[in-house]
Structure 1
């Protein structure tokens, strides 16, 4: 029996040497990053292992107990060394990146990915994502120092420039005019919303920059510009066929439907208009400019400053300050009239005075015999008359003075889908008649 137990002390002393070596490593003599380890923890583990081996070697336990103790020591040392090795690798990784969330491919472009600042939380939603923070020199170089030749548009908010970054990447940079709390609030509001919203019919936010008190927002580039430019610019809508116009209306309705029905809480855009509907190279429409957007849960009468664009603002909001999702539906109806008639929302009619197209067109929109006379000449003879009546009916319901008479944007969406060809995102097939979905149609 003594012969069988003879190797065990040798095994114990050999294992003691292994444990002492591991103790030395844990105490920092063999590990480059040991300065940040916990000496108390390392000492405790070392003492425990050494004590366990001494007990095994110098006490006469039964054979099974000795073997179990030795195996326990081996397992403990293995776990400890594995944990220490993984922790060392993690520390080296943290030290090499400086603790920042960056991408090497973006570093050369002057872009750093950072979480949206915690103060950008006026509209609470379910998720946040990383937003690119651009360095000002990279924006200045990409826009050729914000040259006039790269300017895409100008409005009350500021100017938009085309930016060409390295590797052929292009984007749009909006430089906000002015300063003060209102400008900063709109800037924060737009980052807050677009930093969390992802939808095919809402423009994508790429990043932002703050330089010497000026605010810049970087978006995806929409090659065809705004719907306003396409309709009322030099081309006068000649590039927009009937089906393309219906596709633009459908895309816009889908973007609004996402804001109203799928965001929590629902989001009211508050400044929907043709200049805030952007078009890509395939005439896919996306809603932009969320500086004035608010969550419906935070809106009370008189709590929101009156904002928007004359001609698109709903009557109840203009007169009483009452703001709901139906305010966006009214603005959408005005955009639909623009697409139908090719007119601006406010024009000089005869007699010479400014008048909204809603007031001017309402009598003709509800009279089938007069309706064709107000249609944009560019598309007048290119659509099915039944489709024309259906779109006119949707527009009339959207611009009703009484908010409760207006449809939900979901109902509008369902009414437009059958009017758009399948290849453009609708359900209309060649030779198929429209199927009205809105009830109480005035046409």
Structure 2
């Protein structure tokens, strides 16, 4: 466990008061052209994210949550929005407002960078408009995965009570012009953060670890249309990694060091899927291994080590992640 007195950072803070803007349902309906299907960025777990443009011309992502069944649900949603909106971190998408109206489903409004989602860039078959922003080569994919895991680990281990995502998908990962991650789409109604029992927290933690395992496979494959994670695991176990690597990465033309990194990355994804359920694999383990892997990556001098250190500035978590894999044991 972490000492709460040490849980202070330059890049993450939790303000005492929620300062989110309150939107009317009509405003957000207009921003998304009536929540039309063509504006959908993500749909799962009874929630949907839409791209929109609000009155001042700002591009936003509007997360439409499950409808509240009673006043308790409504209070829970308001409480969790307040917690999420108070997070100030370079890799968490800022919540700029919400709509809480008893006549409608709750809506959360996130900033939406112009570079789209990770899904947009991985699934080039959805359209060519993202190609002008640059190709997701291996080093960019590795940096993106490292930022995701490191940020989620921070929220798991250094926030009390911990914050879980439990909706981690490539469509919830926004990218800015520098391909830095902005995580959005946090699940809201799944649990009561303040009154969550240890057993429930363990379930949510392992769900996030499993989800990032699936996400790591998608980053390798370039698509979420694999027959199943089980088939991907079989290919990895049989030494046929090249059969699941995104053709755009030109695996066989990559230098040997890059091929080895992809193998290590795939092995990590495998362990997330196999060992998340029994707690043998935590998000801090995922973050630690990706940080070490990214530190070994050199792409024309474009290494994000300093960015990662900024992410964990003054954090005991950075010290724990920096330890060798065999030198620590996280409960």
* Alignment deviations for residues 82-135 of structure 1 (CA, whole Å, 9 cap, x no partner): xxxxxxxxxxxxxxxxxxxxxxxxxxxxxxxxxxxxxxxxxxx78333222234
Hey, what does 2:59 align to over in structure 1? 170
Structure 2 CA distance for partners of 1:267 and 1:221, relative to 1, 3 Å: same
Tell me which of the two structures has the higher relative contact order, counting C-alpha pairs closer than 8 angstroms and 6 or more residues apart.
Answer: 2
Which secondary structure state, in structure 2, belongs to the residue aligned with residue 268 of structure 1? coil
Q: Could you list the runs of 5+ residues in structure 1 that have no partner in the other structure? A: 1-124, 305-321, 349-355, 428-434
Q: Report if aligned partners of 2:40, 2:48 keep a CA contact under 8 Å in 1.
A: no
The equivalent of 1:341 in structure 2 is 221
Q: What is the alpha-carbon distance in structure 2 between the residues aligned to residue 327 and residue 138 of structure 1? A: 34
Q: Distance in 1 between matches of 2:221 and 2:325?
A: 21
TM-score between both structures, scaled by the size of structure 2: 0.70
Report 1:346-365 matches (<5 A): 347-348=226-227, 356-357=228-229, 359-365=230-236
Of structures 1 and 2, the larger Rg is shown by 1
1:376 paired residue number? 246
Alpha-carbon distance, 1:255 to partner: 1.6
Identify the residue that residue 220 of structure 1 maps to in structure 2: 111
Cα pair 1:160 1:173 within 8 Å, conserved:
yes
Contact 2:49 2:61 in 1 (8 A): no
Report whether the alignment pairs 1:414 with 2:288.
yes
Question: Which shifted more, 391-400 or 286-295?
Answer: 286-295
SS in 2 for 1:298: coil
Deviates most, 325-334 or 174-183 = 174-183
| DSSP 3-state at the match of 1:265 | coil
In structure 2, which of residues 89, 97, 105 is the aligned counterpart of residue 207 of structure 1?
97
CA drift at 1:408: 2.9
Query: Would you say the 8 A contact 2:276–2:282 is kept in 1?
Result: no
The secondary structure found in structure 2 opposite 1:255 is: helix
**Closer, same or farther: CA 159–411 of 1 in aligned 2, 3 Å:** closer
Find the partner of 1:276 among 164, 172, 191: 172
Is the 8 Å Cα contact of residues 267 and 293 (structure 1) preserved in structure 2?
no
Secondary structure (helix, strand or coil) at the match of 1:272 reads: coil
Alignment of structure 1 residues 2-13 onto 2, 5 Å: none
The question of whether the paired residues in 2 share the 8 Å contact of 1:277 and 1:287 is answered with yes
Task: State the distance in 1 between where 2:174 and 2:278 align.
Answer: 29
CA distance in 1, matches of 2:264, 2:194: 30
TM-score by length of 1: 0.54
Structure 2 gaps of 5+ residues are: 1-13, 307-321, 327-331
Aligned counterparts, 1:35-434, within 5 A: 127-136=16-25, 138-139=27-28, 143=31, 145-146=33-34, 148=36, 151-155=39-43, 156-166=46-56, 168-176=57-65, 178=67, 180-181=69-70, 184=74, 187-188=77-78, 190-211=80-101, 213-214=103-104, 215-232=106-123, 233-235=125-127, 239-290=135-186, 291=188, 292=190, 295=193, 298-299=196-197, 301=199, 323-344=203-224, 347-348=226-227, 356-357=228-229, 359-367=230-238, 369-379=239-249, 380=251, 381-382=253-254, 384-401=258-275, 403-404=277-278, 406-417=280-291, 418-419=293-294, 420-421=297-298, 423-426=302-305
Residues 134, 241 of structure 1: alpha-carbon distance in 2 compared, 3 angstrom cutoff: same
3-state SS of the aligned residue for 2:96?
Answer: strand
Distance 1:297 1:144 in 2: 35
Question: Could you tell me how far apart the structure 2 residues matched to 1:274 and 1:195 are?
Answer: 21
| Alpha-carbon separation, structure 2, partners of 1:147 and 1:270 | 24
Give the distance between the partners of 2:279 and 2:61, measured in 1 at CA: 38
Deviation at 1:331, TM superposition (A): 1.3
How many pairs does the alignment contain? 280
| Cα deviation, residue 185, structure 1 | 6.5
Counterpart of 1:317 in structure 2 is none
Deviation at 1:220, TM superposition (A): 0.6
